[in-house]
Each structure stands twice: as C-alpha cells, then as structure tokens.
Amino acid sequence: MIPEPDYANLYAQYGHYGKKLEKALRLVMSRGVKLHRFSPSQREIWTVVGREGDQLVDESQPYCSCRHFYYRVFGGKDDLCYHLLGLRIAKQINKYDTVEFIDLEYLPFLELLLKDMVNLGKERNSR
C-alpha cells in the first residue's frame, strides 16, 4: 500500500496558501511533477503538468514558466505559483516521477519543451 502523505503536516506548513495549496496537492497526487535526469552529467530538469500544459520549474531560482509567475510573482504581488508549491511538496513527500535520459538528449528535450511553451503562448494570445 502506498502511504498517504501527512496532510495535517502539509496544511500546518502551507495552509496559509489556501486554494493554491489545494491546487498544488491535486497536482502532486495526480503525479504531475516530473524530474528529468540526464546522465552522466546528473543535470536535472523539473516540469509540472498543469492545466495549461507543461511548465518548466526551478526551485533554486525560483522560477516557473507559467503566466501567473511572470505577471504576479515577478510583479511582486505573490511569492510563488501553485506549480512551485507543488514542486516543493512533491520533493518533500517524495511523490514525483523520475524519467532518465542521456546527456545527448538534453538540448533536444529543452528545445521541445520550450517550443511547446511558445506554442501554448501563441494559442492563448490568439483567443
């Protein structure tokens, strides 16, 4: 049996995020957080599959490629988006998928990811 995450603990820690915490938890429980690990360099790319497609996330920056992050967080109105919160929780409770790659695949992978995000942006803008 897969152990359930310690919700009480998570709510105590992140409860002040309210709705954002719920969205982040839904993300984590649906295994939307993915680690792409490249060998032998051990470079890591984290992505989060959100409602608007894959987002590139980086906790160390912190950075997320979503619009909320761009407008609200860069704009100083918010400290993070639910993708980044999901990433933090996923790491904390160890609930994410790891996909192994070789280093040769690093650039093509990044290109594909960025292209997807650009296309998503265009679709959104044309609506």
Binding region for Zn ion (CB under 5 A): 64, 66, 69, 81, 83
Min dist. Cβ of residue 20 to Zn ion (A): 10
Alpha-carbon gap, residue 116 to 22, rounded angstroms: 26
31 Cβ neighbours under 8 A, 6+ residues apart: 95, 96, 97
Return the number of the residue (83 or 88) whose C-beta is nearest Zn ion. 83
Min dist. Cβ of residue 84 to Zn ion (A): 6
Return the number of the residue (27 or 81) whose C-beta is nearest Zn ion. 81
Alpha-carbon gap, residue 110 to 73, rounded angstroms: 23
DSSP state of 49: E
Return the number of the residue (20 or 83) whose C-beta is nearest Zn ion. 83
Min dist. Cβ of residue 7 to Zn ion (A): 22
**Does the N-terminal peptide bond of residue 5 adopt cis geometry, omega within 30 degrees of 0?**
no
Return the number of the residue (64 or 90) whose C-beta is nearest Zn ion. 64
> In 36-81, which ranges are continuous DSSP H helix?
67-68
Min dist. Cβ of residue 100 to Zn ion (A): 25
